[in-house]
Homo-oligomer: A and B are copies of this chain.
Amino acid sequence: MNSEIVTVGTELLLGRIDNTNARFIADQLAQLGIESHFQTVVGDNEDRIVAVLNQAATRSDLIIICGGLGPTVDDMTLASVSKYLGLNLQVDETQFSQIKAHFNRQHRSMTPENVKQAQFLAGAKILPNDVGLALGDFVKTVKGPDIAVLPGPPSEMETMFINHLVPLLEETYPVQQHLISRVLRFYGISESMLMHQLNDVVISNTNPSIASYAKNHEILIRLTAQGKDDDQINQLLDITQTQILAKVDGYFYGTGSKNSLAKEVVMQLKQKGLTVTAAESLTGGLFQSTICSIAGASKVFDGGFVTYANQAKKDLLHINAQIIDDNGVVSKQTAIAMASQARKIMNTDIGISFTGVAGPDQLEGHPAGTVWIGLSFGDQQVKTQLEQYLQTDSRQSIREKSVLTGLQMILQMVK
């Protein structure tokens, strides 16, 4: 059982948008245990779409084609599939009535092309569109690969895929081997260094397979195991996870493909009944905004300070001007003063501070990428960390890494 993905759209060929549809479908197929060896992008051109389908038919059992189902003359995917399969197009009258009603509601007039969105391939199972107008199709063929036709707008395609295509695929291609993936998340180590340290583990494991990828300054390791049932697979995943953490535990912070350092921090603080505030200079509110991006942040965070200019550090945090004058604003001492003062004023358990150089210019002789992070925990404990990011890092990248490092420092302190 081997599938391939065809995405249609001139805007993809011109590099105007990322092909997130191909990625979504590929990920879904992998989860369903359906192998996929090829993806093709082709423009809105009937001859070329038909040529791509003929090519796909020589090597695949299932083609998923997506995009080009709209009402304009540029949209020719369904006509192309109809030509390739030798199947007529029919109009679904119920859908056509709904399209008419949709235009009436919006007080807009329909064009003759709008009927295209109610068309389907004769003999196909119709895939309803829960969030848009164009119908999808699933055609089982006797010779050649089966074919699914999906709309291009991601929200429509994803909803149709999950709600209507997945059940058909599960029914049509029952999978014997069951797959489960688990994502392990690391921060503060490069991908090459991490994989270097894990070399023996990677070589000695085939089930689960081990793959690494970098995402938003983090390194994720995805373990994918197959087996007969969930228990057996999870046991395999546990064993490999233990082997991995024995080598690189210091950089590991959690599991899950939707997890994040901020989520872990909010969860840990909530569990331990701790609160946090921040005084941010170069990060300009990015730490606090990241905490607030997590649902339930209000349990651990009341508010804090953005003190970009030195005057704001003095006015809002009441930092002794002498500390900044003596040590500079990019200094351990200023970081400590910012963190402790923020903690005191907001009366929280933890205060964190960020002061440094986001660039592009240097500051007080420090190059872009120099960042002091201060952490004040209760009345006694103070921790600081000096980060020296690359000068080639962008301003935004330096700010993002500072926030992630700050989150990691909190996690290490409270865990």
Residues of A near any B CB (own CB < 8 A): 11-20, 22-30, 36-43, 45, 48, 51-52, 55, 59, 108, 196, 211, 213, 215, 222, 278, 280, 282-289, 291-293, 295, 297-298, 301-309, 311-313, 315-316, 345-346, 358-360, 395-396, 399
Instruction: Specify which of B16, B39, B303 is in contact with A312 (CB 8 Å cutoff).
Output: B303
Please name all residues of chain B whose beta carbon is closer than 8 Å to the beta carbon of A306 when the two chains form the complex. Answer: 278, 285, 288-289, 292, 303-306
Q: Is the CB of B302 within 8 A of A312?
A: yes
Expressed in whole angstroms, the Cα–Cα distance for A345 and B285 within the complex equals 18
* Alpha-carbon gap, A306 to B280, bound state (A): 11
Query: Which of B17, B52, B316 lies in contact with A303, CB distance below 8 A?
Result: B316
Chain B nearest CB from A266 CB (Å) reads 12
Cβ of B282 and Cβ of A292 under 8 Å apart?
yes
Pick the contact of A285 from B27, B38, B292 — CB < 8 Å?
B292
A23 near B17 with CB under 8 A, answer yes
A282 (CB) vs chain B CBs: closest residue: B292
A286 touching B289 by the CB < 8 A rule? Answer: yes
Bound together, the chains give a CA A28 to CA B15 distance in angstroms of 8
Q: A284-B291, A303-B316, A395-B295 are in contact. Are A37 and B48 (CB under 8 A)?
A: yes
> Which of B196, B289, B308 is in CB contact (< 8 Å) with A283?
B289
Contact (Cβ within 8 A) B284 A297: yes
What residue in chain B is nearest A48 (Cβ atoms)? B37
Q: Which residues of B contact A55 (CB under 8 A)?
A: 55
15 of the cross-chain contacts (CB-CB < 8 Å) are A14-B36, A17-B215, A18-B20, A19-B19, A19-B23, A19-B39, A38-B41, A285-B286, A285-B288, A285-B292, A289-B306, A293-B399, A295-B359, A303-B309, A303-B316
Cα A298 to Cα B307 in complex, Å, equals: 11
Q: Which 8 residue pairs spanning A and B have beta carbons closest together?
A: A284-B292, A285-B285, A15-B27, A303-B312, A15-B26, A285-B288, A39-B41, A302-B309
Q: How far is the CB of A195 from chain B (nearest CB, A)?
A: 9
CA distance A232 to B39 in the complex (A): 39
Q: Using Cβ atoms and an 8 Å threshold, which residues of chain B touch A283?
A: 289, 292
Q: Are A298 and B309 in contact (CB under 8 A)?
A: yes
Q: Taking the nearest CB of chain B, how far is it from the CB of A123, in angstroms?
A: 29
A288-B306 Cα distance, complex, nearest whole Å: 8
User: Which residues of chain B come closer than 8 Å to A289, judged between CB atoms?
Assistant: 283-286, 289, 306, 399
Q: For A283, give the chain B residue with the smallest CB separation.
A: B289
Contact of A280 among B24, B39, B285, B301 (CB under 8 A): B285
Residues of B within 8 A of A20 (CB): 18
Instruction: Let me know if A308 and B298 touch, CB within 8 A.
Output: yes
Question: Do the beta carbons of B28 and A38 come within 8 Å of each other?
Answer: no
The answer to whether B305 and A396 have CB atoms under 8 Å apart is: no
Instruction: Indicate the member of A278, A297, A302 with the most B CB atoms within 10 Å.
Output: A302
The answer on a CB contact under 8 Å between A17 and B213 is yes
Report chain B residues within 8 Å CB of A295: 359-360, 395
